[in-house]
Amino acid sequence: MDVCQGLAALHERGIVHRDLKPHNVLLTESGNRAKLSDMGLCKQLVPEQSSFESHHGPGGSSGWQAPEQLIARDGGAARQSRSMDVFSLGCILYYCMTGGRHPFGDNHYERDARILRGDPVLPPLAAAGAEAFNLVSSCLAREPLRRPAVGAILAHPLWWGDERRLGFLVDISDRVENEDREPDTSLLAAMEAYAGVALSGPGSEAPDGSAPAAGLSAALSAALSSSAISNWGACLPPELVANLGRYRRYDYTSLRDLLRVVRNKRNHFREMPPTLQAMLGPLPAGFLRFFVGRFPCLLLAVYVFALQHLADEPTLQQYWGDGGSGAEPFVRTFMTSYGNRIRPIKVGQQQQQQQQQQQQAGTALTETIAPGGASAVAVANAGGEEPARNTAASPAAAAPPTSSATAATVASASAAAAGADSQFCRVSRGEGVS
């Protein structure tokens, strides 16, 4: 982070470093801060200037130069800009995240050729997480215009703390909560299109698909492509699923409903049973780890969705660098990596049209009250979460609240969550209510 901030300070002053590499990053005596050094090859841009010719040589050191520097070194015509520093920064970040490995291979003689081809060795980076993979891969783009600006790099969720990450997921959940009641449900459909990535399990942090990215082996691609989860309820402990069913009905294939769980349980964490608090807590680190450990691409997928569809939302401006415009390379890299998984998995176009026609005709969606009438709703809602909202068939009548019924709730909830063949996993809410 210190290196990124140092480079941002240079670029804000119109200075291009031109020789970034691990050897030019110095650590303070305490080891807690990093400083950029060796400014001998820096180039000062004049006001309104964004690039320059290579009259004074390409700059940089072999193995750490951007493609345009290598082209200039061999006498080719290639303008240089701040973007060359971003490429070298990507090399440094890769080096740090992989324990000293080089993004273009361990063979010194082949590195420059791989850089010119745009052929990084990406698999080792997957262990650093989906956000790291997205950021570093974007920095290593062959074309200068496809790399992010340093301001966007600093705003990337890779650098966010636990509280900020969790707050972002909650804010997005708040924003899309009632989209199913709008005449135009296209925003909700767009979010659900990302479910194939967001609901992927561990091992999906790197790209998948029938068209592997450069540097990604076919074996790794095949392994990652099998990690998509069609039913997120099956990934949660049965005790939590049973607790969820007391307050509302969730669609376990829906990305919006998973975000609802994150939001509701975070907002009502203190009201959960002590066993669930211990399982999900503490806030924010333990809580966030509970969900992203099961869905490691959740944050990145929601981030890219929001960049594409909610970048102008006033309440979300705190999460974007440069108003979100400089983050386009992150979206492009995401689509290149996971594009084969971006597909609607919940609501078909015909069903959307039927819903819109019903709303336009003034047909109200049926709200089914929980079994037992208003008093049962009040008891179920005593924990502070909103009562279950049901637009499907009414559940069976509630069984009397007994200890055996409570145990049955956990069992039935677990079985419902595991039923991946059903689009909607229904959990009886009447059992266990006292």
If one counts every other C-beta atom within 10 angstroms of the C-beta of residue 207, the result is 29
Please confirm, yes or no, whether 119 is among the known catalytic residues: no
Four-residue CA torsion sign, 266, 272, 276, 282: positive
164-180 b/e with 16+ CB inside 10 Å = b?
A: ebbbbbbbbbebbeebb
CB atoms within 10 A of CB 129: 19
- Using CA atoms, how far residue 144 sits from 35, 84, 358, in Å, is 25, 7, 49
Contacts of 281 (CB under 8 A, 6+ apart): 269, 287
Q: What is the distance between the alpha carbons of residues 148 and 322, in angstroms, rounded to a whole number?
A: 11
Give the residue among 299, 305, 262, 17 at the shortest CA–CA distance from 159: 299
Q: Are 420 and 236 in contact (CB under 8 A)?
A: no
Catalytic residue among 2, 19, 74, 174: 19
Query: Which residues face 51 on adjacent strands?
Result: 81
With beta carbons less than 8 A apart as the criterion, state whether 205 and 129 touch: yes
Give one DSSP letter per residue of 12-43, joined into a string.
HTTEE-----GGGEEE-TTSS-EEE---TT-E
Closest CA to 338 of 292, 294, 303: 303
Active site residues: 19
